[in-house]
């Protein structure tokens, strides 16, 4: 968890505004309430995608503002308002329903307006509809923030500028920002700096040690137990579909992890670390086991530990082997049956 502390400190040095820690998808696989508990005194707010995540944070005593980033959850609207969760508003119709529900409950709601500046997901894309909303605000649904999301913060600079300019056109209609929190920058945009930082930033992947590298430290490591060793002669085969053929006399270690635990179903690709040495994956990763070549790894015994993610093997490495991104690798480990948090 010290790496998490380091990373939020790194973000703090790059912005003077508020930090909204994005903890959706179980804090990118790291454990939502444990991450939030660690960060509650270091950030202003948290952002989640689903109502269940917001309720879990409240259940575990997280009193910070919590912003819903996902779609308008009308079925849980009453609970969200009662739990003081900040709603995500993408249309006038959603705003009206939130205000009506809040008035009926006698509990004022608060919300952030989402602007679709070019991502083409949630949010106002019609500036006239947005302007109409500003003219019909209800005291039972206070607008406490306005935000957008960049599609190319770590890529196409021209489209990034287009989105930023579009967002600023929407901001220009506000009669006065006052206490309204304006935020747009995700992790990659934080590193761009400049006016996109506004009043606050939303950091997700950078908190967990990934994204454009600026010295952040990976927070998660994943290990598996060595179950047994198998001696193979040159030409012998192993695994489903006999996908691996030994090209020499070698020793394979069977590990207690597989794709059911969130590791990708690789075939003769990638490596794990045992005794600080790279051990290539042999054959096909199974549901709850995998085999690796430990011939050159020194003294390897059943009961020993293999590092699947950590020192010597990053989420970016695994993403490269499996044709995906580090976000996908990290969130896939949501299924891990046992977690240990080192303070």
Per-domain residue ranges of the chain:
2-208, 222-335
Q: Contacts for 238-244 with beta carbons within 8 Å, 24 or more apart?
A: 238/282, 238/283, 238/291, 239/282, 239/283, 239/284, 239/286, 239/291, 240/283, 240/284, 240/286, 241/284, 243/267, 243/268, 243/283, 243/284, 244/268, 244/282, 244/283, 244/284, 244/291
Sign of the dihedral defined by the CA atoms of residues 282, 285, 291, 295, in that order: positive
Q: What pLDDT does residue 125 have? A: 97
pTM exceeds 0.85 for this model:
yes
Q: What is the CATH number of domain 222-335?
A: 2.40.37.10
Q: What is the CATH number of domain 2-208?
A: 3.20.20.10
Find the helix or strand (DSSP H, E) in which 82 lies: helix 77-82
Q: What pLDDT does residue 337 have? A: 67
CA distances from 186 to 15, 152, 220 (A): 12, 10, 20
Please give the chain's pLDDT, 343 residues, in tens. Answer: 999 999 999 999 999 899 999 999 999 999 999 999 999 999 999 999 999 999 999 999 999 999 999 999 999 999 999 999 999 999 999 999 999 999 999 999 999 999 999 999 999 999 999 999 999 999 999 999 999 999 999 999 999 999 999 999 999 999 877 889 999 999 999 999 999 999 999 999 999 999 999 999 999 999 999 999 999 999 999 999 999 999 999 999 999 999 999 999 999 999 999 999 999 999 999 999 999 999 999 999 999 999 999 999 999 999 999 999 999 999 999 877 678 887 6
CA 231/CA 216 separation, integer angstroms: 40
Question: Which residues are known to be catalytic?
Answer: 24, 240
CA 231/CA 251 separation, integer angstroms: 5
Q: Give the three-state DSSP class for 168.
A: helix
CA 126/CA 55 separation, integer angstroms: 32
Residue 183: which residues within 8 A CB-CB, separation 6 or more? 17, 18, 20, 145, 147, 198, 199, 200, 201, 202
Burial tier of 157 (Cβ tally within 10 Å: 0-12, 13-18, 19+)? exposed
Give the residue among 310, 300, 309, 252 at the shortest CA–CA distance from 274. Answer: 300
CA distances from 62 to 76, 216, 219 (A): 19, 25, 21
């Amino acid at each position: 968890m010290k790496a998490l502390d380091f990373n939020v400190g790194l973000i703090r040095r790059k912005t003077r505004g508020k930090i909204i820690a994005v903890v959706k998808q179980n804090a990118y696989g790291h454990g939502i309430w444990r991450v939030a508990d660690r960060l509650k005194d270091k950030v202003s707010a948290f952002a989640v995608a689903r109502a269940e995540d917001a309720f879990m944070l409240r259940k575990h005593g997280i009193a910070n503002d919590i912003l819903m980033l996902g779609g308008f959850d009308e079925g849980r609207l009453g609970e969200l308002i009662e739990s003081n969760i900040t709603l995500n508003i993408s249309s006038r119709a959603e705003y009206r329903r939130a205000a009506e529900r809040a008035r009926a409950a006698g509990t004022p709601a608060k919300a952030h307006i989402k602007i679709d500046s070019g991502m083409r997901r949630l949010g106002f894309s019609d500036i006239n509809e947005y302007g109409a909303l500003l003219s019909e605000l209800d005291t039972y649904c206070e607008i406490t923030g306005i935000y957008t999301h960049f599609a190319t913060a770590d890529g196409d600079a021209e489209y990034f500028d287009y989105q930023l300019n579009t967002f600023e056109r929407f901001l220009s209609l506000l009669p006065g920002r006052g206490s309204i929190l304006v935020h747009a920058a995700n992790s990659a945009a934080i590193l761009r700096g400049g006016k996109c930082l506004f009043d606050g930033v939303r950091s997700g992947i950078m908190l967990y040690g990934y994204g454009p590298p600026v010295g952040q430290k990976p927070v998660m490591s994943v290990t598996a137990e060595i179950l047994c060793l198998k001696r193979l002669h040159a030409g012998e085969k192993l695994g489903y579909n006999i996908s691996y053929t030994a090209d020499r006399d070698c020793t394979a270690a069977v590990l207690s992890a597989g794709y059911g635990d969130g590791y990708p179903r690789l075939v003769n690709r990638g490596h794990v670390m045992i005794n600080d040495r790279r051990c290539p994956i042999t054959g096909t990763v199974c549901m709850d086991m995998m085999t690796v070549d430990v011939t050159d790894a020194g003294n390897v015994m059943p009961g020993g530990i293999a590092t699947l993610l950590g020192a010597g093997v990053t989420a970016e490495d695994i993403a490269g082997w499996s044709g995906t991104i580090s976000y996908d690798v990290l969130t896939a480990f949501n299924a891990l049956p046992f977690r240990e948090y080192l303070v």
